[in-house]
Amino acid sequence: MTLSTDNSATIADHTMVGVLGGMGPDATVAFMQKVIEVTPGEDDIDHVHMLVDNNPKVPSRIKALIDGDGESPAPAIAAMARRLEQAGCDFLVMPCNTAHYYWSAAQQAVDIPVWHIVERTLDRVAAEMPGARVGMLCSPALRKIGLYEGFIEPRGLSLVYPDNEDRVLDVIRAVKRGAGRAPATHAAFIEAAHDVQARGADVLVLACTELSVIRDALDGRVPIIDTVQVLAEDVVAAATGKAPHG
């Protein structure tokens, strides 16, 4: 039997979302689960078609950006984007904040849109809480590279970070090694949240997708905007043409 090499046969007749995943694997699964949860569907066919490259072999963003001795993730991310485009995806998302330092490598590699999680998150904050002071719960790499700073001024927002950012990094690393539910991990996460609240934050932004995995550890004293939630809701709206649940 001869297999067809006509790529057009694999192109979906509905919106197909490509996910640049594996950064990390738990965060990718959490994103996919959130898309399912917010989809206004009654049967399988109502849900979003996602093609996921859950690639945990992308070089470490922490080693490259914080430690300074790691391989650049850019070539791997660009290669993933090309594979997903060739498979017929209509647009791409990357459920990892820190990886957006390499967003341009993905966008330059393809002709389809690569959504930017930072812009979408801050658009949501500005719409719901104009002029907010945003408490950032994230990898220290984000502050080091100024990933969010470049999008703040046009939206009339400001940022505040925890005093001890290494504590947040410890939490992120705990989630990556499967210890996200440990009491010590939750305690450190809550302490970091209280820190930015005490520094005047009007809203907490979970700007690392690992933190989304343990969002339920927080007490909700101030509003929380989860980058994974924002991305999932926007994906559902774009792919189904319907407002998401939630």
CA-nearest of 18, 19, 20, 22 to 176 is 22
For residues 3 and 37, the answer to whether their CB atoms sit within 8 Å is no
* Amino acid code (one letter) for 18: G
Give kind and range of the element (H or E) at residue 2.
none
Q: How far apart are CA 94 and CA 99, in angstroms?
A: 8
Of the residues 32, 92, 96, 196, only one is catalytic, namely 96
What whole-number distance in Å separates Cα of residue 69 and Cα of residue 51? 32
Least Cα distance to 91 among 71, 65, 66, 117 occurs for: 117
Q: Is 169:139 a contact under the CB 8 Å cutoff? A: yes
Say how far apart CA 33 and CA 174 lie, in whole Å: 21
**Residue 96 known to be catalytic:** yes
Query: Which residue in 156, 129, 119 sits closest to 222, CA to CA?
Result: 129
Q: Does residue 138 carry a catalytic annotation?
A: no
The active-site residue out of 208, 213, 218, 225 is 208
Query: What distance, in Å, lies between the first and last C-alpha atoms of the chain?
Result: 48
Mapping DSSP to helix (H, G, I), strand (E, B) and coil, where does residue 12 land?
coil
Active site residues: 96, 208
